[in-house]
Amino acid sequence: MVNMISTDLRNQLEQFVPAENIKLQEPMSSHTSFRTGGEADVFVLAENGEQLSGLIPYLHEKDYPFFLLGFGSNLLVSDHGYHGIMIKLSGELDRIRVEGERIIAGAAASLARVARVACEHGLTGFEFASGIPGSVGGGIVMNAGAYDGEMSQIVEWVRVMDLAGRSFRLENPQMEFGYRTSIVKKQPLIVLETAFKLQPGQREQIAAYMEELASRRRQKQPLEYPSAGSTFKRPEGYFAGKLIMDAGLKGYQIGGAQVSEKHCGFVINTGQATSTHVYQLIEHVRMQVKSKYDVELEPEVILLGDF
């Protein structure tokens, strides 16, 4: 639908964002860590809250579908593309500032950069997230976590925007953080910025711990291939990777998508995978694990579009 009217729509969107921030038929394989996926009908870069506060209510009123993209590191977009407006944050929303023991980071900032800034300022508590290849916005939505840490432990508040374009602060308990989830997964809110409350620490120790975690990742995870990290959530009482390995699926391949031989919890793109291959492999793994162990594997990866 949006496809047919996208040139017209483009003119409308120029009321809210500069013309050079709007692209048509943008390949999502350039914006996802799986390196797969068809085109988004319209792709918009929003640089600040003001642009968003015009854009979002407009799209909502017109009933145009839209999707907030972080770094696409937990996202599988259909090969048929996304028929709507893909919004990526940038500009002012990429800023990071330090206020004492607090770091206030825009949703478009990378978790890796926040971790570096924390280290430079001798602030500890963010190390666990230094190797998660997502944005602050995506990290908050997913309550991203690793090595016994997760966003919920260090978030003080999050500034969000609703569909009416109003922005307001949600304090940590209002974020309804859970395992790989938060209120932003359940309600149509946009993360604008987040305050992380950290602790004073020793720069050398922080840097050394980040390096140790990076090295553990390199050893255990197939970082040399495109993926979206752990494909499945951890089922209660089990480890997804172990179940998949025990089901005999290590290295199992559909088209260019493969159950990683290094870490069975990762589906990887060996080079020529399409999103359909990845999707079919996910479904195959789920079926096998269900029939062998009666465990339902739930994808952690977000599926977008028609599969």
Ligand X SMILES: Cc1cc2nc3c(=O)[nH]c(=O)nc-3n(C[C@H](O)[C@H](O)[C@H](O)COP(=O)(O)OP(=O)(O)OC[C@H]3O[C@@H](n4cnc5c(N)ncnc54)[C@H](O)[C@@H]3O)c2cc1C
Binding segment for ligand X among 41-49, 205-213, 219-227, 288-296 (CB under 6 A)?
219-227
Contacts (CB under 6 A) with ligand X, residues 61-120 = 67-75, 89, 107
Nearer to ligand X by Cβ, of 116 and 203: the residue is 116
Provide the token pair at 53: 């506060």
Give the whole-angstrom CA distance, residue 153 versus residue 149. Answer: 7
Provide the token pair at 220: 């255990």
What does 198-266 look like in DSSP terms, one character per residue? -EE--HHHHHHHHHHHHHHHHHHS-TTS-EEEESBPPPTTS-HHHHHHHTT-TT-EETTEEE-SS-TTE
Pairing of strands 75-77, 149-150: unpaired
Contacts (CB under 6 A) with ligand X, residues 226-265 = 227-229
User: Which residues, including other chains, have CB under 8 Å from residue 282's CB and lie 6 or more apart?
Assistant: 231, 232, 267, 299, 301
Contacts (CB under 6 A) with ligand X, residues 26-45 = 33
Binding segment for ligand X among 49-57, 116-124, 133-141, 169-177 (CB under 6 A)?
133-141
By the rule CB under 6 A, 133 interacts with ligand X: yes
For residues 170 and 182, the answer to whether their CB atoms sit within 8 Å is no
Nearer to ligand X by Cβ, of 74 and 274: the residue is 74
Number of residues that bind ligand X (CB under 6 A): 33
Pairing of strands 66-69, 82-89: parallel
User: Which residues, including other chains, have CB under 8 Å from residue 142's CB and lie 6 or more apart?
Assistant: 74, 134, 151, 180, 181, 182, 185, 300
By the rule CB under 6 A, 132 interacts with ligand X: yes
Q: Which of 45, 77, 191, 213 is close enough to bind ligand X by CB under 6 A? A: 191
By the rule CB under 6 A, 201 interacts with ligand X: no
Binding segment for ligand X among 48-56, 97-105, 167-175, 223-231 (CB under 6 A)?
223-231
Q: Is 260 a catalytic residue?
A: no
CB 47 to ligand X: min, Å: 13
CB 113 to ligand X: min, Å: 12
Report the catalytic residues. 180, 230, 300
Binding site for ligand X (CB under 6 A): 33, 67-75, 89, 107, 132-135, 137-139, 141-142, 144-146, 184, 190-191, 221, 223, 227-229, 302
